[in-house]
Structure 1
Amino acid sequence: MAALCVAAAGLFVTRPAKLPDGALDGLSADPANGEQVFYAAGCISCHAAPGTTGPAKLTLAGGQAFPSDFGTFIAPNISPDPDHGIGGWTLSEFASALRYGSSPDGQHYYPAFPYTAYAHMTDQDIADLWAFWQGLPPSDVPSQPHQVGFPFNIRASLGGWKMLFMSKDWVVADIPSPEVERGRYLVEALGHCGECHTPRNALGGLDTANWLGGAPNPSGSGKIPSLAALDWAASDIAYYLETGFTPDFDSAGGHMAPVVQNFARLPAADRDAVAAYIKALQ
């Protein structure tokens, strides 16, 4: 009986957190800024249907597969379709998903969805992103289930995972300038660069002591490089984020190619800010 009480208490403490309904309703949303947030956050990179190109990528029908040590996660349909996407959500439910990794029906999302980074998003950027989202094309393609076996398919356990690995603190606390602060927001929050460039522990949490220090490729092939040890000039980093071309006359490939496509749509000042942040790590 005591064990059941302890288990029930644990589930209560680690239950999915949510914003109250209407918590962000007082904000005046700017969909133009929301478009910039959309590309900086890389939404299109994961949720566009496989094989789509051009404007068709804006139909966020999902379907891309992301392998990991815990199973294969399939990106869901997050288009504005009210039945198969998220068109029936409220702004508060959208914010709860981004900030807490919680679904409208009270479940934990898997951290393949980088809410540990999006948790740092500002209220205004969330509201602006939601306003832009309303103009995206809907898709009636059903989301596919994740291919995750026991015990990782027990979503209730993710509450404990969040307690261990979600933090309101920035990884890099000492920021020397407003430009680097903007770069931190783009790298640690919107761009969620640490999700790929930082190694993970046995439970899948980011090893922030080795922040952006490089990591094994989840596909099992090769390694994702260290940004903390990157010896490029800041101008080279900014140019790479715009064009995909490296100082060594190579070009971006794999999952980095769509990241470059996204950052190329941002103002030059944002690419410069990311470069300044990366150089500040060194």
Structure 2
Amino acid sequence: MRRVLPSLASAGIVGLGVFWWVTAPDRLPDDAVAGLSADVAHGEQVFWASGCSSCHAAPDATGDEKLLLAGGQKFPSDFGTFIAPNISPDPENGIGGWSTLDLANAMTRGVSPEGAHYYPAFPYTSYANADLQDIVDLKAFLDTLPAVPTPSQAHEVGFPFNIRRSLGGWKFLFADKGWVITDGLTPETERGRYLVEALGHCGECHTPRNGLGGMERAAWLSGAPNPDGKGTIPNITPGELDWSAADIAYYFETGFTPDFDSVGGHMASVVDNLSKLSAEDRAAIAAYLKIVPAVK
């Protein structure tokens, strides 16, 4: 026993060291956004393409209310209920005190300015593919919005999921930066891929997940159970969605389906965002969805 205990202690120390290394927050280089000039007008397009207001504004917000990013919406899941934070320019309760690099680290690395891991309810696994210029422009636009002094609420997450450091292990397993669709792309479908896979983070809802919450990318966009337990999120691959590209683009613009129905539920907010993009971007998204591998 006297010979075994030191070996066990050494193994434990090595294991702890490996865990600490694997789970350490991974930040961008300090000069990652140096030299990039902001374009506020383009930042507004990035804002709508990224769906920021769909989570961070009030659930029933319309018009200018969608620009009041006080947070507070609740998102239930198998791991607890996540509550969207205040991302308005308020310096105390929002992100008014953040630098552009802080926002880039949050969006592409899932790391807070204090160095803590964010929960992947914040879709940084998709935003990881966002162009840093777009994030620079987005930050400039966010800074023009009204500051809202509402404090962010704490997530309703219990043990062991409330151990933030362990999220580094989740990222190690599932934060797989890289494109899902890599072959047969045209300039239009490449733009559509960027809008769907990165900014629009469509896969975060429309792709099934494994038991630990990682996206099953082999079943990309093939639908998933609704995290709140009510119904399912539809399959939007050509294996189920048989609309033409023109029909899809028209739906994104107006909310009307080819069957003379109209958009509802959470998708209504998404369509409202997409309606503010250019016709070319909506067509690019539709073209991309038509080349995604069909899943029945």
- TM-score norm. by structure 1 comes to 0.97
Structure 1 stretches lacking a partner, 5+ long: none
The answer to whether 1:219 aligns with 2:228 is yes
Query: Deviation at 1:200?
Result: 0.4
Distance in structure 2 (CA, Å) of the matches to 1:175 and 1:263: 25
Q: Which secondary structure state, in structure 2, belongs to the residue aligned with residue 121 of structure 1?
A: coil
Is the Cα–Cα contact under 8 Å of residues 22 and 172 in structure 2 kept in the other structure? no
Distance in structure 2 (CA, Å) of the matches to 1:168 and 1:203: 18
Measured on the aligned residues, the alpha-carbon RMSD in Å equals: 1.1
Distance in structure 2 (CA, Å) of the matches to 1:56 and 1:183: 28
Q: Which residue of 1 aligns with 2:66?
A: 57
The answer to whether 1:90 aligns with 2:99 is yes
Q: Which residue of 2 aligns with 1:274?
A: 285
Is the Cα–Cα contact under 8 Å of residues 108 and 159 in structure 1 kept in the other structure? yes
Matches within 5 A, 1:23-172: 23-172=32-181
| Structure 2 letter corresponding to 1:192 | H
Query: Deviation at 1:168?
Result: 2.2
The answer to whether 1:203 aligns with 2:208 is no
Query: Deviation at 1:50?
Result: 3.7
- Call closer, same or farther: CA 1:276–1:51 in 2, change over 3 Å: closer
Name the count of aligned residue pairs. Answer: 282
Is the Cα–Cα contact under 8 Å of residues 175 and 181 in structure 1 kept in the other structure? no
Distance in structure 1 (CA, Å) of the matches to 2:121 and 2:37: 31
Distance in structure 1 (CA, Å) of the matches to 2:73 and 2:229: 17
Distance in structure 1 (CA, Å) of the matches to 2:115 and 2:14: 21
The answer to whether 1:237 aligns with 2:248 is yes
- Find the partner of 1:265 among 276, 280, 287: 276
Distance in structure 1 (CA, Å) of the matches to 2:251 and 2:155: 34
- Call closer, same or farther: CA 1:22–1:89 in 2, change over 3 Å: farther
Q: Which secondary structure state, in structure 2, belongs to the residue aligned with residue 6 of structure 1?
A: helix
Query: Deviation at 1:221?
Result: 1.2
Distance in structure 1 (CA, Å) of the matches to 2:29 and 2:148: 28
Distance in structure 1 (CA, Å) of the matches to 2:135 and 2:63: 25
Distance in structure 1 (CA, Å) of the matches to 2:169 and 2:220: 22
The answer to whether 1:182 aligns with 2:182 is no
Q: Which secondary structure state, in structure 2, belongs to the residue aligned with residue 67 of structure 1?
A: strand
Distance in structure 1 (CA, Å) of the matches to 2:86 and 2:97: 13
| Structure 2 letter corresponding to 1:48 | A
Distance in structure 1 (CA, Å) of the matches to 2:273 and 2:256: 15
Structure 2 stretches lacking a partner, 5+ long: 1-8
Query: Deviation at 1:242?
Result: 0.7
Query: Deviation at 1:9?
Result: 3.0
Query: Deviation at 1:52?
Result: 3.0
| Structure 2 letter corresponding to 1:13 | V
| Structure 2 letter corresponding to 1:41 | S
Distance in structure 1 (CA, Å) of the matches to 2:60 and 2:255: 20
Q: Which secondary structure state, in structure 2, belongs to the residue aligned with residue 186 of structure 1?
A: helix
Q: Which secondary structure state, in structure 2, belongs to the residue aligned with residue 138 of structure 1?
A: coil
Is the Cα–Cα contact under 8 Å of residues 43 and 140 in structure 2 kept in the other structure? yes
Larger radius of gyration: 2
| Structure 1 letter corresponding to 2:95 | I
How high is the sequence identity, in percent, across the aligned residues? 65
